[in-house]
Amino acid sequence: MNVVVVSSLVEPLQVPCNYYSRKKSQIKKNPKCAVVASSSSGVGSLVIETNQDQQQMSTSTQTPTTTLSSVAARRLILLRHAKSSWENRSIRDHDRPLSRSGRLDAIKVSQNLLKLGWIPQLILSSDALRTRETLKIMQEQVQAFLEAEVHFISSFYSVAAMDGQTAEHLRQAICKYSRDEILTVMCMGHNRGWEEAASVLSGATVELKTCNAALLEATGKSWEEAFSLAGPGGWKLQGLVKPDTAV
């Protein structure tokens, strides 16, 4: 496994208005907007309904390839941690471990991501115990997750509670830690920020229950360019991955 770095990114912006939050009103008018429902059973195919068409989630296991001089498909996985335990109410929120069902879900979602070929080369994660345990289980189940570069970012925990901050904060973190040759990044964190960021980036209304992942894609010679070209609402929502969804 690559070296794990515990770090703190730039402190979350305290100003409520940023590049993405200013565009929220425009996103609501975006013709690509969709409602991606997350059913309680989680059973069904990974289909995204848009105003224009219906796109079936691709199950290709091929990793996108490109030369550094070409425009590359950049894939972003926004994964919410697995379900945590509330048995011990005296434990502070940051230190809550996973529940038994949460541990099982982490196993399933790692296997589903593997089947779909969405394996990250870079993983940026909140340092909260429930996100660290989610990642550890995924690494134990799928060898490919061990090969990714990992950074634990303390600000991922706090920024998720701030309205309109998460999408911009994730952009900063990804651009800071990624390199041009890294084509798939996974960011692990918390609601409400994670589903808000997925919605802002894609222009869809995304609901992320525990251990659900939004799969987003944009193009660019670098991650900076991909974010710049796509802008808010311009990332393609390829689907949602859930523990109990058949792949």
- The domain covering 4-54+71-85+95-241 belongs, at the CATH homologous superfamily level, to Phosphoglycerate mutase-like (3.40.50.1240)
The model's pLDDT over 62-86, given as tens digits with 9 standing for 90+, comes to 445 444 447 899 999 999 999 999 9
Candidate from 36-45, 117-126, 140-149 with smallest mean pLDDT: 36-45
- Residues annotated within the binding site are 130
Q: Indicate the burial class of 1 (C-beta count within 10 angstroms; 0-12, 13-18, 19 or more).
A: exposed
Give the tens place of pLDDT for each residue, 162-209: 989 999 999 999 999 999 999 999 999 999 999 999 999 999 999 999
Give the separation between CA 215 and CA 32, rounded to whole angstroms: 16
Q: For residues 185 and 43, which has the higher predicted lDDT (pLDDT)? A: 185
**Residue ranges per structural domain of the chain:** 4-54+71-85+95-241
What kind and span of H or E run contains 5?
strand 4-7
CA 150 to chain centre: 14
Closest by Cα among 74, 35, 29 to 229:
74
As separate numbers, helices (DSSP H) first and strands (DSSP E) second, the chain gives: 8, 11
* DSSP H or E run through 129: helix 129-141
- Residue 5 or residue 104, greater confidence: 104
**Which residue positions form the known binding site for substrate?**
130
